[in-house]
Structure 1
Amino acid sequence: MPDPKTLQVGDRIQILRVPENDLRQRERELAEKTDMAGWTADSIECIIEQSPVVRVSRIDEYGCVWYDAAVVGPDGVEEEHSLIVYDDDTWERLDPFRE
Protein backbone atom coordinates (compact mmCIF):
# COMPACT_ATOMS: atom_id res chain seq x y z
CA MET A 1 0.00 0.00 0.00
CA PRO A 2 1.42 3.42 -0.88
CA ASP A 3 2.43 5.66 2.01
CA PRO A 4 1.43 9.32 1.64
CA LYS A 5 4.19 10.32 4.08
CA THR A 6 6.71 9.52 1.29
CA LEU A 7 5.17 12.21 -0.93
CA GLN A 8 6.53 15.71 -1.36
CA VAL A 9 4.97 18.90 -2.67
CA GLY A 10 4.93 18.74 -6.47
CA ASP A 11 4.78 14.92 -6.70
CA ARG A 12 2.27 13.61 -9.22
CA ILE A 13 -0.27 11.01 -8.17
CA GLN A 14 -3.20 9.39 -9.89
CA ILE A 15 -6.47 9.08 -8.01
CA LEU A 16 -7.75 5.54 -8.64
CA ARG A 17 -10.96 5.26 -6.64
CA VAL A 18 -13.05 6.84 -3.90
CA PRO A 19 -11.89 5.93 -0.37
CA GLU A 20 -14.21 3.51 1.46
CA ASN A 21 -14.75 6.02 4.28
CA ASP A 22 -16.10 8.57 1.80
CA LEU A 23 -18.40 5.98 0.21
CA ARG A 24 -19.78 5.01 3.63
CA GLN A 25 -20.18 8.67 4.54
CA ARG A 26 -22.21 9.24 1.35
CA GLU A 27 -24.48 6.28 2.16
CA ARG A 28 -25.01 7.59 5.70
CA GLU A 29 -25.70 11.15 4.53
CA LEU A 30 -28.15 9.98 1.86
CA ALA A 31 -30.01 7.87 4.42
CA GLU A 32 -30.14 10.85 6.79
CA LYS A 33 -31.15 13.19 3.92
CA THR A 34 -28.29 15.54 4.79
CA ASP A 35 -27.78 18.68 2.68
CA MET A 36 -25.14 18.06 -0.01
CA ALA A 37 -25.11 14.35 0.85
CA GLY A 38 -22.09 12.56 -0.57
CA TRP A 39 -20.38 15.74 -1.69
CA THR A 40 -16.85 14.44 -1.05
CA ALA A 41 -17.38 11.07 -2.76
CA ASP A 42 -19.15 12.77 -5.67
CA SER A 43 -16.29 15.26 -6.01
CA ILE A 44 -13.66 12.51 -6.06
CA GLU A 45 -15.67 10.62 -8.70
CA CYS A 46 -15.64 13.80 -10.85
CA ILE A 47 -11.88 14.14 -10.38
CA ILE A 48 -11.33 10.52 -11.44
CA GLU A 49 -13.56 11.01 -14.48
CA GLN A 50 -12.15 14.37 -15.60
CA SER A 51 -8.56 14.73 -14.40
CA PRO A 52 -7.30 11.91 -12.16
CA VAL A 53 -3.64 12.98 -12.29
CA VAL A 54 -2.99 15.65 -9.67
CA ARG A 55 0.01 17.20 -7.90
CA VAL A 56 0.61 17.28 -4.19
CA SER A 57 -0.04 20.91 -3.28
CA ARG A 58 0.91 21.01 0.39
CA ILE A 59 1.69 19.09 3.54
CA ASP A 60 -0.01 20.50 6.61
CA GLU A 61 1.30 20.91 10.15
CA TYR A 62 0.02 17.43 11.03
CA GLY A 63 1.86 15.75 8.15
CA CYS A 64 -1.30 15.26 6.08
CA VAL A 65 -0.76 15.42 2.33
CA TRP A 66 -3.18 17.46 0.21
CA TYR A 67 -3.89 17.94 -3.49
CA ASP A 68 -5.96 20.52 -5.34
CA ALA A 69 -8.11 19.72 -8.35
CA ALA A 70 -10.43 21.66 -10.62
CA VAL A 71 -13.37 19.92 -12.27
CA VAL A 72 -16.52 20.97 -14.07
CA GLY A 73 -19.48 20.34 -11.78
CA PRO A 74 -22.90 19.04 -12.79
CA ASP A 75 -24.09 22.61 -13.33
CA GLY A 76 -21.28 23.28 -15.86
CA VAL A 77 -19.34 25.56 -13.50
CA GLU A 78 -15.71 24.88 -12.65
CA GLU A 79 -15.21 23.79 -9.03
CA GLU A 80 -11.99 23.89 -7.03
CA HIS A 81 -11.41 21.04 -4.57
CA SER A 82 -8.72 20.52 -1.95
CA LEU A 83 -8.57 16.93 -0.73
CA ILE A 84 -6.38 14.82 1.49
CA VAL A 85 -4.32 11.85 0.28
CA TYR A 86 -5.36 8.91 2.44
CA ASP A 87 -3.14 6.14 3.74
CA ASP A 88 -4.82 3.56 1.50
CA ASP A 89 -4.70 2.15 -2.01
CA THR A 90 -6.97 4.74 -3.66
CA TRP A 91 -4.04 6.47 -5.36
CA GLU A 92 -0.64 5.75 -6.88
CA ARG A 93 2.51 7.81 -7.30
CA LEU A 94 3.45 8.49 -10.90
CA ASP A 95 6.91 8.48 -12.36
CA PRO A 96 8.30 12.01 -11.83
CA PHE A 97 10.09 11.88 -15.19
CA ARG A 98 6.99 11.25 -17.31
CA GLU A 99 4.46 13.99 -17.94
Structure 2
Amino acid sequence: MSDRNQSPVGDSIRLLFVLNCDLARRERAIAADIIDRDSTATVIERVIATNPVDRIERMDEFGAAWFKVEFDESDGIH
Protein backbone atom coordinates (compact mmCIF):
# COMPACT_ATOMS: atom_id res chain seq x y z
CA MET A 1 0.00 0.00 0.00
CA SER A 2 1.38 3.42 -0.89
CA ASP A 3 1.95 6.23 1.59
CA ARG A 4 -1.00 8.66 1.38
CA ASN A 5 1.42 11.55 1.95
CA GLN A 6 3.55 10.60 -1.04
CA SER A 7 2.80 12.41 -4.31
CA PRO A 8 1.27 10.19 -6.99
CA VAL A 9 2.88 12.31 -9.74
CA GLY A 10 4.38 9.89 -12.25
CA ASP A 11 2.08 7.03 -11.26
CA SER A 12 0.12 5.27 -14.00
CA ILE A 13 -3.66 5.57 -14.04
CA ARG A 14 -6.32 3.77 -16.05
CA LEU A 15 -9.59 5.51 -16.90
CA LEU A 16 -12.44 3.04 -16.67
CA PHE A 17 -15.63 5.07 -16.97
CA VAL A 18 -17.11 8.55 -17.20
CA LEU A 19 -18.52 9.93 -13.97
CA ASN A 20 -22.32 10.24 -13.82
CA CYS A 21 -22.06 13.96 -13.04
CA ASP A 22 -20.13 14.53 -16.30
CA LEU A 23 -22.64 12.48 -18.30
CA ALA A 24 -25.52 14.42 -16.73
CA ARG A 25 -23.83 17.76 -17.51
CA ARG A 26 -23.50 16.73 -21.17
CA GLU A 27 -27.14 15.62 -21.28
CA ARG A 28 -28.25 18.98 -19.86
CA ALA A 29 -26.19 20.78 -22.51
CA ILE A 30 -27.71 18.65 -25.27
CA ALA A 31 -31.22 19.33 -23.91
CA ALA A 32 -30.43 23.06 -23.99
CA ASP A 33 -29.31 22.70 -27.63
CA ILE A 34 -25.67 23.37 -26.74
CA ILE A 35 -23.18 21.33 -28.75
CA ASP A 36 -19.88 20.90 -26.92
CA ARG A 37 -17.64 18.34 -28.58
CA ASP A 38 -15.00 19.05 -25.94
CA SER A 39 -17.17 18.28 -22.92
CA THR A 40 -15.50 16.36 -20.11
CA ALA A 41 -17.65 13.29 -20.80
CA THR A 42 -16.78 13.29 -24.50
CA VAL A 43 -13.06 13.73 -23.91
CA ILE A 44 -12.95 10.96 -21.30
CA GLU A 45 -14.85 8.64 -23.66
CA ARG A 46 -12.23 9.34 -26.34
CA VAL A 47 -9.39 8.64 -23.90
CA ILE A 48 -10.98 5.34 -22.85
CA ALA A 49 -11.51 4.34 -26.50
CA THR A 50 -7.93 5.11 -27.56
CA ASN A 51 -5.57 4.60 -24.64
CA PRO A 52 -7.04 4.57 -21.15
CA VAL A 53 -3.63 4.38 -19.40
CA ASP A 54 -1.69 7.56 -18.70
CA ARG A 55 0.66 9.04 -16.12
CA ILE A 56 -0.28 11.62 -13.51
CA GLU A 57 1.51 14.82 -14.44
CA ARG A 58 0.54 17.03 -11.51
CA MET A 59 -1.85 17.40 -8.61
CA ASP A 60 -3.93 20.56 -8.26
CA GLU A 61 -4.72 22.45 -5.08
CA PHE A 62 -7.84 20.30 -4.55
CA GLY A 63 -5.94 17.02 -4.77
CA ALA A 64 -7.23 16.15 -8.24
CA ALA A 65 -4.84 14.37 -10.59
CA TRP A 66 -4.08 15.93 -13.97
CA PHE A 67 -2.65 14.24 -17.04
CA LYS A 68 -1.98 15.22 -20.66
CA VAL A 69 -3.72 13.64 -23.61
CA GLU A 70 -2.95 14.15 -27.27
CA PHE A 71 -5.35 12.82 -29.86
CA ASP A 72 -4.47 11.91 -33.41
CA GLU A 73 -6.50 14.45 -35.36
CA SER A 74 -5.90 12.85 -38.74
CA ASP A 75 -9.55 11.77 -38.76
CA GLY A 76 -10.61 15.43 -38.69
CA ILE A 77 -12.39 15.01 -35.38
CA HIS A 78 -11.38 17.22 -32.48
Band of TM-score, shorter chain: 0.7 to 0.9
Distance 2:10 2:55 in 1: 5
| Residues 71 and 38 of structure 1: CA distance in aligned 2, closer, same or farther (over 3 Å) | closer
Residue in 1 that maps onto 2:44: 44
Listed as ranges, the matches of 1:81-96 within 5 Å are none
Identity of aligned residues (%): 34
Q: How many residue pairs get matched?
A: 73
Q: Which has the higher strand share?
A: 1
Residue in 2 that maps onto 1:80: none
Please provide the CA RMSD for this pair: 2.4
Per-residue deviation, 1:66: 1.2
| Residues 59 and 23 of structure 1: CA distance in aligned 2, closer, same or farther (over 3 Å) | same
Unmatched segments (≥5 aa) in structure 1: 78-99
Give the SS at the match of 2:54: strand
Residue in 1 that maps onto 2:59: 59
Distance 1:58 1:38 in 2: 21
Point out the structure with max Rg over C-alpha: 2
Distance 2:23 2:50 in 1: 19
Q: Which has the higher helix share?
A: 2
Distance 1:13 1:35 in 2: 29
Residue in 1 that maps onto 2:32: 32
Distance 1:52 1:6 in 2: 24
